[in-house]
Amino acid sequence: MKKYIVPAFFLLPALLVFTTFIIFPVIGSFYYSFTNWDGLSATPQFIGIKNFENLLHDETVWKSLGVTFQIAIILMLGQNVLGLALALGLQGSSWVQKVLRVWYMIPLMLSYVAISYIWNYMYDPRNGIINFLLRSVGLSNLTQDWLGNTDLAVYSVIFSIIWQSFALCMLIYVAGLQAIPKDLYEAANIDGAGKGRMFVNITFPLVAPAFTINMVVTMIFGLKIFDQIFIMTNGGPGGVTENLAMLLYRQAFTFRQMGYGSAIAIVMFLIILVVSLLQVIILRKREVEH
């Protein structure tokens, strides 16, 4: 018995806070997902699995599922490819590289509210900077309604998110790259390997732990994105930027279907769980192999 006191002492505060403020609310919303609560009445009515049945037949749910994955996957790929490419160029220790590494982190210091306002201004079709620049170099036929065009809107939002947060990903890659012993490259060079092969056989495999972390984290982050979409497009135009998080908010708070919204939240949680587990398993395996 005594040997449990010490671990308990260390664990208890965290367990208490975590359970109270995360687990209880999650259980609460499990409960609400089996009701038709409207968020206002004192007593929600139990309706069994009806919410989940409706969910399966709801077109908007399937559509937003697609949008969720679209956003998450492009975000994950975009951040990682860009992060790695930039890291390759910035892994050295010249002053230019040091300065750029710092400079690229500035967007991270801005809040989502600030980022959304900045990019709303950049993307505005009449007064925005992007179209202004295009017009002033004579490319006015390329001007677009960046946030209003249903084909472009998602990509515009995704780009602004990448713009803000790619630096974290990049820095992790820089650290990973810096950890690779230089003699490996020298040895390969002596053996006559070209730059492509060096990347494939040395860099990529050895940067695997950084790769794993980045992929998993950016994926989870991408699946849950809410604030930026909320402020920039509110799910519009016509629902093309509405991912599950936005749909959940709309159902729960705009349509006052708290029960239904909770059911969607449960589904979202399960998806994130499954995807993350799969990712970790696949990527860890790959890590070990190399």
Partner 1 sequence: MLSLKRVKWIGAVLSIALLLSACSETNQGNSSNSSSAEDKPVTITVAMPNDQYQSLSELNERFQDQYPNIKIQFDAVPTDQYETLVNTKLASGDGPDLFNVNSGTKLDPLINSNNIMALNDESWVSRLSPSGLEAASRNGNVYALPGFQAIIGVVYNKQIFKELGLSIPQHWDEFLEVAQKIKDSGKIPLALGLRDAFVTQFIPYAMAPSAIYRDHANFDNEMYEGKQTFVGSPWEQMLADYLGLEEKGFFNDDVMGTGLDSMFQMMASGDAAMSVIVSPMIGAIRGMNPEIELGVFPLPYVKEGETIYVSTGTSNVFAVNANTKHPEAAKQYLDFLSQPDNMMVLIEGSLSAFVDVPSQADPAIMETEDAMKKGTYTMLDTIWPNTVQPTLFTAVQKVFTGQSIEAALKEMDDAFKRGIQ
Partner 2 sequence: MNRFLGHIGKIPVYVLLGVWTLIISIPLLVVILTSLKTMPEVKSNPLSLPSSFQWSNYSVAFEQGKMLAGFSNSLIITSLALVFIVILSSMAAFPLARSQSKWASVIYLYFLSGIMVPFQIAMVPLYKLLNSLGLNNSHLGVILIYTSSAMAFAIFLYTSFYKTVPRELEEAAKIDGCGPIRTFFVILFPLIKPITSTVIITNALFIWNDFFVPLLFLQSQNSRTIPLSIYMFKSQYATDWTLTFAAVIIASLPLVILFFSLQRFFVQGIASGAVKG
Residues between 78 and 117 with contacts to partner 2, criterion CB under 8 A: 82, 85-86, 88-92, 94, 100-114, 117
Asked if 141 is part of the footprint of partner 2 (rule: CB under 8 A), the reply reads: no
Told to check if 239 binds partner 2 by CB under 8 A, we report no
Of 250-279, binders to partner 2 (CB under 8 A) are 252, 258, 261-262, 265-266, 268-269, 272-273, 276
Q: Which residues contact 80 (CB under 8 A, 6 or more apart)?
A: 169, 211, 214, 215, 218
- Binding to partner 2 (CB under 8 A): which residues in 152-171? 163, 168, 171
- 244-252 long-range CB contacts below 8 Å, 24 or more apart? 244/61, 244/64, 244/65, 244/68, 244/268, 244/271, 245/68, 246/64, 247/60, 247/61, 247/64, 252/39
Using an 8 Å Cβ cutoff, are 215 and 279 in contact? yes
CA-to-CA distance for 46 and 258, rounded, in angstroms? 12
Number of residues this chain uses to bind partner 2 (CB under 8 A): 94
Binding flag, residue 185, partner 2 (CB under 8 A): yes
Rounded least distance, CB 237 to partner 1, Å: 5
Task: Report the interface residues with partner 1, using CB under 8 A.
Answer: 38-42, 120, 123-127, 145-150, 233-234, 236-239, 250, 253-256
**DSSP 8-state assignment for residue 46:** B
Closest contact distance (angstroms) between CB of 35 and partner 1 is 13
Shortest reach from residue 25's CB to partner 2, in Å: 4
What is residue 144's three-state secondary structure? coil
